[in-house]
Amino acid sequence: MFAVKPLYPFKSEVSGPVFRLPPLASGDGRRSRAAVGRRSKDNRGGGRVRAVVSGGDNKTVEAEKPADGKGLSGSLPSSSSSLSSSPSSGKIDVRAVISIRKKIRQKLVDKVEDSLESFKNGIGQGIMLQLVSEEVDPATQSGKNIESSVRGWLPNPTEHSYIAEYAADFSVPQDFGCPGAVLITNLHGKDFHLLEIVIHGFGEGPIHFPANTWIHAQKNNPESRIIFRNQAYLPLQTPAGLRDLRREDLLSIRGNGKGERKAHERIYDYDLYNDLGNPDKDDDLARPVLGGEERPYPRRCRTGRPPMRTDPLCESRIEKPRPVYVPRDENFEEIKQNTFAAGRLKALLHNLVPQIAASLSSSDIPFKCFSDIDKLYNDGLLLKDEERNEATATLALANLTREVLTVGKRLLKYEIPNIISRDRFSWLRDNEFARQALAGVNPVSIQILKEFPILSQLDPAVYGPPESALTKDLIEQELHGMSFDRAIEEKRLFIIDYHDMLLPFVDKINSLPDRKTYASRTILFYNPAGSLKPIAIELSLPPTPSKPWNKRVYTQGHDATAHWIWKQAKAHVSANDGGIHQLVNHWLRTHASMEPYIIATHRQLSSMHPIYKLLHPHMRYTLEINALARQSLINGGGIIEACFSPGKYAMELSSAAYKSMWRFDMEALPADLIRRGMAVEDPSAPHGLRLVLEDYPYADDGLLIWSATKEWVESYVDHFYSDPGSVKSDVELQAWWDEIKNKGHCNKRNEPWWPKLDTKEDLCTILTIIIWTASGQHAAINFGQYPFGGYVPNRPTLMRRLIPQEDEPEYEKFLLNPQNMFLTSLPTQLQATKVMAVQDTLSTHSPDEEYLGQENQLHGRWINDRRVLELFKTFSSKLEDVEKIIEQRNKDKRLKSRTGAGVPPYELLLPSSGPGVTGRGIPNSISI
């Protein structure tokens, strides 16, 4: 029952194994490897283990271990020399200790299963190990090897009760050399999570094999997993005994592009965004495929699900709570799962009350007064007993939810968002509107006004005259005595321009129920007093036969009517900003763009490659959160479509932005600032840049993080690539970069702006962009979502009315009750509470978050290189200094974007954080 499939074929006589690794073809997660050892026939029932080791003299050495597990109790072998050695036998005894992570919160069934697994491991029928030497056996031209089974039990570690340890003993020849890989075979009925393997008894001391990986059950995949030691090797430096295993391990996770992926697999492959729609459920949920020539997009991780019945180009959907496939090691760990599950439950509960309101009335309810919004934080949303019972019956909620609802009336209550916690009226002021363009959740859209007149690049035959309605004279009237030319010369005029991105979608969006939008341009002026303010807003609709010039400009004005219209114009700009932020700057430029980098890293860089080791912390959880987003957030009918302006055209808008403006080289923070005119090159300035606005917190703090990361990357790369041609000759690295361009971002593969990868400088630039995108950039535009967006009037995600004009019936209603017109233009209570719940979840740090510059205690032995560990310590120390600098900046009274009455400090790029919604902290990866 517990017999192991032979891993390597070899001759049965004492003449020794004679084998070579056959040529390998890319398969579907199955290795065509010959192997290093096998269990002899008399061990299938639990007898003796016959380990065949290739000695240096072309003779076979046999090591036998008793099947009763005796001899494993007691202390570990000394690492100063060896456990024991016998001159006559020429062998040394070594021990492998493996650490397995169990569930932290165990149910009874988990405890029973663990006991059974522990028993099987103790009697040698649960886990098989093979040590593979870095040295080559001349007879086989492959690494020397020896096999043994895990036997016996070790006491649980005292620090972490959920970590179990087991041991396997080996008797190896003294000329075996240093083990460089361990092959592990899981004979249990399900996979287990391997933290690490440590080999004791060799002269150099304990040898660490960090894993942090799931080991599949043999019944699901007969091939053993390969775990390499924590030594980094460039491809040409790979020890001869490990070369074939290195190549084979890469091939095993690439797949062949066929078949549906299974939960236990770790196959990384590419696919189109063909999984967003659900026409089988409803024709109105059909969505176009993203990733073709017409609608280009980055690639996602392939799942291989069968096609839709009604549309063979679309992949069938997975309905909750069934999990979406991601490679096994990409799944959330238990703490993260519990945190995210709690967030989803919280979102459900926060959605519950508006759903009840909708079920008990004819339609969804708008906010009628500002106190309705305040009640979300002050009083919570109250339900009467009969309403609770009727609602839960109507919605057929789970028993858990029904029980929670009976706990108390104040259960559904939101935390006060940071933006109004100090000053509840700050959102009304123009200087706060402008401050958030520099220090808010979307500080990457503002740019300097470079050219005038402002011209559209859209086809004038379709979208009308290209000239903007924002004229020189009109702007000059708002400059308080300063001339337009002087303001341009002194770089005091800025613009947030969404005109060309949105105008092609305006008619489509406005045809949706309760959606109204414009294409917007906003001009901001940095006055001599050092304050940035919006001075003019242009709102455009596509031309019609009766209105070929369908553009209006709004300014603050000097009377009550003008002030209220100005508030509505700003709200429309905020709604546009919210959609562009979520779909372009957040989802596209971080989440979607990172996914191909992660897939290519696993497919082309061995886990022993130094660049893999550098990037590994920055890939954690991203594929899982992206898969969940495609299932529930950006899918047809999902939260984003329901609650943001673009509605069902949301992802088409994202694709259009990818086509028109995404460039890998411009994702570097300095390049992006220069492109937007927010900085100029200055070799004498810190970071080689001089900011046009000194008081630009995102850029000022971001450059500290960018520079610290760049220094760390440069020192790391310089350590491993000492020879001038070593980057160009690194076959894995070149294949990695080629695949990112030609497969992961294949719609952009022919663009001339892709950086070359010929030198160390090229590599450092590429790596810094990737790490910045995953860490600092994502943190800056993600973790402020609830602090800024949790108060609906500050950042409405959609608008439901156009601004009434004097010749329209709505205008009289506006004059009679402008507050009502404003509030009924905002999202409804249902839409608002949905968005608030999601933003709260997305702004939450998990307790197991891994932050930039910090090292996870359980994954501390990631590399066996003292110099690299010293460099990392320097990087960590640098980030501690960055944190102190930012804290000092937040006390500088000259910096009005950070300080002042009721002004929250800018903390989104502070590296460290605790769990929860903190509005600070830079995780290593896009983990939420």
Distance CA 805, CA 142 (A): 81
Closest CA to 654 of 719, 560, 589, 713: 589
Q: Using only the alpha carbons of the chain, give its radius of gyration.
A: 31
Count CB neighbours of 840 within 10 A. 23
Distance CA 419, CA 425 (A): 9
Residue 232 backbone class (left: φ over 0; alpha: ψ -120 to 50; beta: rest): beta
Closest CA to 329 of 616, 702, 738: 616
**Full DSSP string of 38-82:** ---GGGTTS--EEEEEE-TTS-EEEEEE-TT-TT-SSPPPPSSS-
CB 96 within 8 Å of CB 229: no
| Active-site pick, 356, 523, 640, 928 | 928
738, burial (CB in 10 Å: exposed 0-12, middle 13-18, buried 19+) = middle
Structure tokens at 12: 């049965």
458, burial (CB in 10 Å: exposed 0-12, middle 13-18, buried 19+) = middle
CB 766 within 8 Å of CB 601: no
Distance CA 169, CA 200 (A): 10
- The reply to whether omega before 755 is within 30° of 0 (cis) is no
| Active-site pick, 350, 687, 778, 845 | 778
Closest CA to 470 of 436, 520, 533, 532: 520
Active site residue 928: yes
Distance CA 252, CA 247 (A): 9
**Full DSSP string of 292-303:** SSSS----EE--
Distance CA 38, CA 61 (A): 14
Residue with tokens 């269990």: 39
Active site residue 778: yes
The DSSP 8-state label assigned to residue 194 in this structure reads E
47, burial (CB in 10 Å: exposed 0-12, middle 13-18, buried 19+) = middle
| Active-site pick, 626, 635, 782, 890 | 782
Instruction: Give the type of residue at 3.
Output: A
| Active-site pick, 193, 350, 499, 591 | 591
73, burial (CB in 10 Å: exposed 0-12, middle 13-18, buried 19+) = exposed
The helix (run of H) or strand (run of E) holding residue 539 is: strand 532-540
Distance CA 414, CA 834 (A): 12
Residue with tokens 């775990």: 227
Count CB neighbours of 808 within 10 A. 12
User: How far from chain centre, in Å, is Cα 504?
Assistant: 30
CB 475 within 8 Å of CB 523: yes
Active site residue 585: no
| Active-site pick, 208, 586, 616, 745 | 586
Active site residue 782: yes
105, burial (CB in 10 Å: exposed 0-12, middle 13-18, buried 19+) = exposed
Active site residue 845: no
Structure tokens at 181: 């890989």
Active site residues: 586, 591, 778, 782, 928
